[in-house]
Structure 1
């Protein structure tokens, strides 16, 4: 059965708007994806309701060659499936031609890290003011122990053991783990805890507080790290997760112990931690290129 109007996309849009009551932004996304397919159909002298799975694969290949990545193509296919499912309910089609098709996987982006010299440059600022004293302790702790941003902001006074140089954090899934804290971070923390008394409210248990004496927000930490990066003339934006990635990468480079890094990061699955083996290989490849007499380029 053919649609009531000559334009099935127009009828689909009306369905999304009046029956499903989707937002204008979401509807625009669906229509943008469908018009990509419709444009391809015009070049092939086909209509949307004549397509089979081979046609969809052919269009997908064309879009991929034009530069669309895996995530964009996944969304495109999802829009197509929704449209063709609507066409099935309207009895315009007998099968959904996009149902069994998957997009090519995007290349996995490796997390950005700082090398050890860059970390040293980033941390080379005077901590005379109370805010710089606090920020130095935050950055040292991020890099020393590989904490997540949420883990660091949630820290309370009882979570740090300065004598044993340990910090107890609560990670994803409400799981607690104990982590070692390096001597540089301990020194910075001691300096900050002395200054903290000047600002913290009496009922505030948080280690890191704002100017108002309350627990510091994640947004404030992100902004402070970014500003310090600008002040220290760092390349690119510095953020908390970059310090966590740098911690993991440098630890793996030195130890080669993936299981230990997994435990320290609080990853439930080893596969999550394995991304750092790629970073480690990049480091080794760079050393090889610089050092091997038969690898050096003329």
Structure 2
């Protein structure tokens, strides 16, 4: 039945060679596991208990839940086909639940490297250096998404009110306060834009040629400058968004306030940052408490 199953996936489902290989590996691993306990037992006769035992065995081998869930999905597809073809009457995967995926904590830059990014890194002279610094300052000081930064319009920046309006997900606008230091940088940059291109533009932050920014341009800039102050593996605009939220939380900001600043639809999306704060508290406790 294994060969029939793989033939079905290839010819009727038209799965890619890579996906087909993954299915083949999963079903053959399960077959080997079952035969190690039940000699000459066909997969059609495998039971719910056999599948449960396999999942426990995989977990004991420290295989991550994401991979185990893929293997469970392979078995569901296999036994669903056997039901359709009348080979079995009871699906042994019925009642088998996928394992919970471990939540990945947001990666962020520590405060000292962020201070070095603005105090020690050398930026080019003139328009390019001022613009590059503004991109980094804006991402870190406001927590805006990459798309929000790119689409920020000149008219949406309120210098006197010290705030800016950004268009976020679900086409919802939100108002973000802007610190004095960033307002000063905004004004310097706008003067440099007029000097460089003769006038201001519809979009606030521009490319080297005075055009609207595009994602890869910003991603390259962020990676270039972050590489000078941190060794974290991922260096992207979204990392600066994580850094913004984590630093605020570490310094006592309320979760609800951070939610509004980030433009999250629910508090659940913001709560993941509390895990970083708890990890930091545990580390402080470990280093500081006499009994730790």
Kept after mapping to 2: 8 A contact 1:201/1:213 = no
Shift of residue 198, structure 1, vs aligned partner: 5.7
> In the aligned structure 2, how far is the partner of 1:167 from the partner of 1:221?
20
Higher relative contact order (CA 8 A, sep 6+): 2
Give the alignment partner of residue 202 of structure 2, picking from 205, 225, 229.
Answer: 205
Q: CA deviation at 1:101?
A: 1.1
Unaligned stretches of 5+ in structure 1? 1-7
Instruction: Report how far residue 276 of structure 1 moved.
Output: 1.7
The answer to whether the 8 A contact 2:83-2:91 is kept is yes
Q: Does 1:292 align with 2:285?
A: no
Measured at CA, do residues 202 and 28 of structure 1 come closer, stay the same or move farther in structure 2, by a change above 3 Å?
Answer: farther
Find the residue that maps to 1:120 and give its secondary structure. Answer: helix
Query: Deviations for 1:216-235, whole angstroms, at most 9, x for unmatched residues?
Result: 111221111111122x2421
Q: Is the 8 A contact 2:105 2:272 kept in 1?
A: yes
Tell me whether 1:248 sits opposite 2:241 in the alignment.
no
> How many correspondences in the alignment?
287
- Given candidates 131, 139, 144, the residue that maps to 1:134 is 131
Between 149-158 and 207-216, the greater mean CA deviation after superposition: 207-216
**Counterpart pick for 2:161 among 143, 157, 164:** 164
SS state at 1:177 partner? strand
Q: 1:99 to 1:193 in 2, by over 3 A?
A: farther
SS of the aligned residue for 2:166 comes to strand
Q: Partner residue of 1:218?
A: 215
Q: Within 2, Cα distance between the matches of 1:278 and 1:19?
A: 45
Give the C-alpha shift of residue 143 in structure 1.
Answer: 1.0
Deviations 1:15-51 (A, max 9, x none): 1222222322322222222122122123222321111
Tell me if 1:49 matches 2:36: no
Pair 1:178-2:175 in alignment: yes
Q: CA offset at residue 199 of structure 1?
A: 5.9
Q: CA deviation at 1:204?
A: 5.2
TM (normalized to structure 2)?
A: 0.90
Secondary structure of the residue that 1:178 maps to in structure 2?
Answer: strand
Match of 1:5 in 2: none
Which of 6, 24, 33 aligns to 1:31? It is 24
The TM-score, its normalising length taken from structure 1, stands at 0.88
Q: Please provide the CA RMSD for this pair.
A: 2.1
- Partner of 2:189 in structure 1? 192
> Corresponding residue for 2:82?
87
The more displaced of 197-206 and 98-107 is 197-206
For the pair 1:12 / 2:5, whether they are aligned, the reply is yes
Partner SS, residue 101 of structure 1: coil
Change (3 A) 1:203 1:146: closer
CA distance in 1, matches of 2:18, 2:290: 57
Contact kept? 1:222, 1:240, Cα under 8 Å = yes
2:107 is equivalent to residue 112 of structure 1: yes
Q: 2:116 matched to which residue of 1?
A: 121
